[in-house]
Amino acid sequence: MEKGIVVEVLGPVVFVCRLEGERIAIEKPYACSLLGKKYRNGRPVPGDRVNFVIHSETVQRRDYQGVIQSIDERSSLVERLEPGGRRPKPLVANLDTLVVVASVGAPPLKPGLIDRYLVCAHHWALDPLIIINKWELAEEIDLLYVRLYEALGYRCILSSAYQKIGLDEIRTILERRHSAFLGHSGVGKSSLLNELFPGAQLATGELSQQSQRGRHTTTASRLLPFEAGGFIIDTPGVREFGITGIPSSELSDCFPEFRELSKKCRFQPCSHTHEPDCAIRQGVENDDLADFRYQAYLKIYAEIKEFEKTQY
């Protein structure tokens, strides 16, 4: 039996690289099948650690090279609710860092979406990192948002896959870490990863002429190992990112700048939506808290409430 890490899942085929201790073997992944349909932890996703048996070192046409026997307990699991979906879909496992990738220009910077990913990072206790790509197209308003996020304590890397800006910084921070690139379709996640991992040959795609949105070029997540250790997982971009698995009562904990202040709300717990003497609402009025963050909170809060109603 070998220890391995799942790098990609394509339908029934799970691609696995061997683990030598903590290090991922830099090799062509083994095409593996699953042992039956049900595993205790559900189906494997990239980042999962598995125990597998290798049958064949060579790929013989469409035959499997190995079989996955079991999936290890996960230290973290990022899930997402697809538009119109009812059940969360597992996306990637065992991360320590969640990288939100956004762009300026096209698609334009959307703080609302960045906030959603940051909420998830906090909820799953992952270190957040923000990358703003296509920075060669930045305008003043974009820099303003970057300053606001930095003031909240988030690290922002300004990058351009075209002009090869920010790549060393990304590598320095993410080497030896276990991270995934998440964000809108078309922001340049795969383009950046192709620069960081020569030979990765990830597909990248033009934006739609009409909407200036991405066309969902990446369809399956793929794990890319660093030679120095650690990995980054490329994920398919989303149009919407439905928050799932966070109770409405825990949402305000996922906004770090709310934490201290919310202790001063008259009502405990306080939803910060309508209660009198709410320190958060007061903070927004006094400009101690950024209004766009509070608006993001209200929007996600309303969504979770709506979802919770359907659960009873």
Binding site for Mg ion (CB under 5 A): 189-190, 217-218
Q: What amino acid occupies position 249?
A: S
What is residue 131's three-state secondary structure? Answer: strand
Of the candidates 179, 237, 160, which has an alpha carbon nearest to the alpha carbon of residue 204? Answer: 237
CA angle 238, 216, 109 (to 5 degrees): 55
Please select the residue that binds ligand GTP; options are 44, 66, 214, 283, rule is CB under 6 A.
214
Angle between helices 189-196 and 167-174 (to 10 degrees): 80
Distance CA(305)–CA(299), nearest Å, equals 10
Residues contacting ligand GTP: total by CB under 6 A: 24
Please select the residue that binds ligand GTP; options are 188, 225, 230, 283, rule is CB under 6 A.
188
Q: Which helix (H) or strand (E) holds 174?
A: helix 167-174
Q: Which helix (H) or strand (E) holds 16?
A: strand 13-20
Please select the residue that binds ligand GTP; options are 179, 185, 221, 271, rule is CB under 6 A.
185
- Smallest gap from Cβ 282 to Zn ion, in A, equals 8
- Smallest gap from Cβ 240 to ligand GTP, in A, equals 13
Please select the residue that binds Zn ion; options are 265, 284, 289, 300, rule is CB under 5 A.
265
280 binds, among Mg ion, Zn ion, ligand GTP, none (CB under 5 to 8 A by kind): Zn ion
Q: Which stretch binds Zn ion (CB under 5 A): 105-113, 140-148, 277-285, 297-305?
A: 277-285
- Is residue 192 within 8 Å of 139, Cβ to Cβ? no
Percent helix, strand, coil in the chain, to 5, is: 25, 25, 45
- Is residue 91 within 8 Å of 221, Cβ to Cβ? yes
Q: Which stretch binds ligand GTP (CB under 6 A): 5-13, 32-40, 45-53, 181-189?
A: 181-189
Of the candidates 160, 118, 110, 68, which has an alpha carbon nearest to the alpha carbon of residue 254? Answer: 118
Upper half-sphere CA count for residue 101 (Cβ side, 13 Å): 29
Binding to ligand GTP, residues 132-161 (CB under 6 A): 133-134, 136-137, 160-161
Task: Round to the nearest angstrom and report the end-to-end CA distance of the chain.
Answer: 44
Residue 207 near ligand GTP by CB under 6 A: yes
Please select the residue that binds ligand GTP; options are 94, 179, 191, 244, rule is CB under 6 A.
191
Please select the residue that binds ligand GTP; options are 178, 189, 222, 272, rule is CB under 6 A.
189
Q: Which stretch binds ligand GTP (CB under 6 A): 42-50, 68-76, 81-89, 205-213?
A: 205-213
53 or 220: CB nearest ligand GTP: 220
Residue 108 near ligand GTP by CB under 6 A: no
Residue 221 near ligand GTP by CB under 6 A: no
The residues that touch Zn ion, with contacts defined as CB under 5 A, are 265, 270, 272, 278, 280
The residues that touch ligand GTP, with contacts defined as CB under 6 A, are 133-134, 136-137, 160-162, 185-191, 204-207, 214, 216-218, 236-237
